[in-house]
Structure 1
């Protein structure tokens, strides 16, 4: 597996991953993001023979010394195989090199699997946005982690 920057060629595969998430991002927003080039948008790609398949991705906004993880998602068929962990570790490594010390995120409060993943990785709750998500309605937990500390997982 390798982790590399997202390109426009990747968008159809990314749309497939997004269709399997609770809060899918429109491909049009990702297309705009690629044109702007401000944020970190990376994909985890498996290489089998001459075919590459995107199995996960993340997007983060970086304004040192802080960063915010906007999305991390993994293809349903390969979840719970460490891809999300590799993506998060990749992001944190890049952020530390950029001089960031804190990583923020928000997550659906009822997404127990994601909340557990972030807690396992040293994130803790710092706030709550009631009714933030739609379809289905859910609160957003605001979480943060000091990324200057060694990995927790």
Structure 2
């Protein structure tokens, strides 16, 4: 059985091809790295190249295994969207695998295990698992302060692929086992076990496991409050972005010691509307707006979209220059569209050739 596995949860993602064997093991054919954390432009072509290199077509894929999180919001959305699209076309099953799960198994310890991954801002993703016979049953996964792990000595075995975390904990007298960084081959191994056990999901039920911080939405709201040209939304509107059943809305978020910028768009048949976009004040004029827009256009083009459109305040010359740089053309005007202060909206559209 041919399995395609993908992990786009962090800066160094990868895809893998593997043969799933009836005895529950997996023969990995090849692992291909996806460097840089910007996967939207390279993921689908890399998948096609990997299949072609080994004499396969996409129709030869029997099942998919994908890292569902935790990790980068944008990276996870890119990877899951690609797998969802292929699985829908091919009508093949998907096994979702938590990165914390594969880390717990990589420790080689049976019984209660606490797997730990870097989350930034002095926090870590921590997953408590019961490990037996190369399978792991999740007890809970959460986001906690790294310092709080210093009080866990004498508890579950602690496993992490992060050298800095292991060194910090050992220095505080906590027993921590450092394991190699886990890639998509490990996702393939655990995914195949789940496929054999019938633990799969349909494309429409595929969702990411973000383990989001409770203050992320507050950070996005604060960012747009100080970006006077952004759309000002309610908390409920932002919560809908992260909702599991929002398959036709996409968000890109740039995180660097906190949320530095975001773009939200929704699909309307073969068209995409950019609904909101904001970049923090200190991060402006550093290319983040260009990066967000370029990433999104790659995503939209990859879905088969024919056109992208948006509205922008007439006075927002910087944003208008950015859109025109990406070949958007002015398509109309909406009188008095904006309030606080009242202002006309200029509509722009971009048609994909």
2:249 counterpart residue number: 39
Match of 1:54 among 256, 259, 266: 259
- Relative contact order: is structure 1 or structure 2 higher (C-alpha 8 Å, sep ≥ 6)? 1
2:270 counterpart residue number: 65
* CA displacement at 1:142 relative to structure 2: 0.7
2:336 counterpart residue number: 131
* CA displacement at 1:113 relative to structure 2: 1.2
1:82 counterpart residue number: 287
Larger Rg: 2
Secondary structure, aligned partner of 2:237: helix
1:14 counterpart residue number: 220
* CA displacement at 1:83 relative to structure 2: 0.5
1:114 counterpart residue number: 319
Aligned partners of 1:102 and 1:5: how far apart in 2? 25
TM-score normalised by length of structure 2: 0.38
Residue 27 in structure 1 maps to residue 232 in structure 2: no
- Which structure 2 residue ranges, 5 or more long, are not aligned? 1-10, 12-36, 39-71, 75-209
- Which structure 1 residue ranges, 5 or more long, are not aligned? 47-51, 149-153
* CA displacement at 1:27 relative to structure 2: 2.3
Secondary structure, aligned partner of 1:87: helix
* CA displacement at 1:114 relative to structure 2: 1.1
1:147 counterpart residue number: 352
Residue 5 in structure 1 maps to residue 73 in structure 2: yes
- CA RMSD after TM alignment: 1.9
TM-score normalised by length of structure 1: 0.84
C-alpha change, 1:73 and 1:147, in structure 2 (3 Å) is farther
Aligned partners of 1:40 and 1:97: how far apart in 2? 13
1:151 counterpart residue number: none
Larger displacement relative to structure 2 (7-16 or 37-46): 7-16
Secondary structure, aligned partner of 2:258: strand
Pick the structure with more strand per residue.
1
